[in-house]
Chain A
Amino acid sequence: KQEVTQIPAALSVPEGENLVLNCSFTDSAIYNLQWFRQDPGKGLTSLLLIQSSQREQTSGRLNASLDKSSGRSTLYIAASQPGDSATYLCAVKRYSTLTFGKGTMLLVSP
């Protein structure tokens, strides 16, 4: 059974810092890995998707990497802003199902 772990569970940083969120998974036979953002009381929004054959994807200040052989992904956020405060979840896909980690709750203070 696929298990997805996210470290740290919570992170508090001052505005402007660069930060890294970590995601690990136990079964490397995946189709892709996605990073999502969830604001309090809201649904999830897909941020980045990395196919299993890819190493990284970038969108603005976000960069996600994937090392499938070691079962790890990182989400790098550059020059963090208070508006980045949210919970970030990673999920791995195989066949028609996604398995989610429990998320990292990020707080960026002004």
Chain B
Amino acid sequence: KNEVEQSPQNLTAQEGEFITINCSYSVGISALHWLQQHPGGGIVSLFMLSSGKKKHGRLIATINIQEKHSSLHITASHPRDSAVYICAVAYNNNDMRFGAGTRLTVKP
């Protein structure tokens, strides 16, 4: 069982829809990262969270430390948002654990 669980594994949406991707983890962490990976492999860091909520453009990330849960929201989705979104948790021992990713396809 992966220490970091993401849902859904695959998500197809129509352009303009509001999208939510969820991430749950099993033990206490020092921080949680949301990453975006495009075809070809390049990974870009979207957010780093240790508490609360962050917003960047159409992207919003939240974390609930007590419930060990984080969500990534995309408002007004666009086909260029199509990518794999990966949740990663950082432990105090500097180890990182990654979820398997959520493959998002936004159709025009």
Do A and B make up one complex? Answer: no
Q: Which residues of B pack against A, CB within 8 Å? A: none
